[in-house]
Amino acid sequence: MQVQVARSASCASEVRHSCALAARQTRTADIKSWAFVGKDRVARPPARTLRVCALMVIDKSTFLYLTSALAVGGGVGYVVARDNLNVRPPPPIERPVALGQAPIAQAPFSAASALPPPVPICDDSVGTPGDCPPVGYSAEEGGCGALPMKRCNEYKRALKPRVAERAVSCINALKPHERCDQTRLSLCGHSALMNACIEPPGPPLEGGGTAPRNIDTTCSTIVHGCEGVAVRPTQSECRASLMGMTSVGRAAMVQCMKTHCADKGLAGCESGM
């Protein structure tokens, strides 16, 4: 914006008019000095009334150019702020390195390093059951004789090594009077069976489905043998009970379920193996 202050003779009429207008608003008593504009004498108002008699001349083309530039700059600034066009990523953080220590090289990222570690293979055939508890006091002496040792040896024959290891460890952890409790002894075997490894299905067949395994055939025999019973076991329940058993234990379950499907069921036959 070009501002010109009119102080020359060419602007005398404008200055005269401005000073005269200011003088009319000033009382005669306040006129203490006069000003000469050309050959005319006009009253000079006090400094508090009129400090500068000047005329500001504004160039129209310059004013329009500046207002247009301000408008364009405001629009561009709004677009930049809205779309985050001027956002820059933060600089990388440099970790300080101790004196005498070489910087640690970072390994490049790879998809293989992001994968979780493989799940260990569950194998119930690996395990060593401990020794069974010795024969305790007889019934006349307040004990149960060889009951804990007999039940322990049954678990060793009917259960897979790793499952039998857990069952025998559970029996050995019982107190002497607790080993005479049939329910506690059966619970040791049932808890070990429920934590057995899941036996995978058989290999796929050409026509679809999977080939039946020994456990599938055995459970089918048990389930069909319980037909007519109000509450009979399902195929999945049978698999859960037989997965941790050896062939000796599964054969014992088949014989027991033929005659005791209604009264004992899977849990009762487990405790009587």
The per-residue pLDDT for 66 is 74
Per-residue pLDDT of the chain in tens (273 residues, 90 and over written 9): 343 434 444 444 554 555 555 555 544 444 445 544 445 555 555 444 444 444 445 566 777 767 777 776 666 666 666 665 555 666 666 666 555 555 566 656 565 556 666 656 889 999 999 999 998 888 888 789 999 999 999 999 999 999 999 999 999 999 999 999 999 999 999 999 999 999 887 778 777 777 778 899 999 999 999 998 888 899 999 999 999 999 999 999 999 999 999 999 999 999 877
Host H or E run for residue 5:
strand 3-5
Put simply, whether the predicted model's pTM sits higher than 0.85 gets the answer: no
CA distances to 42, 72, 87, 88, 183 from 78, in Å: 54, 10, 14, 17, 79
Contact at 8 Å (CB) between 164 and 131? no
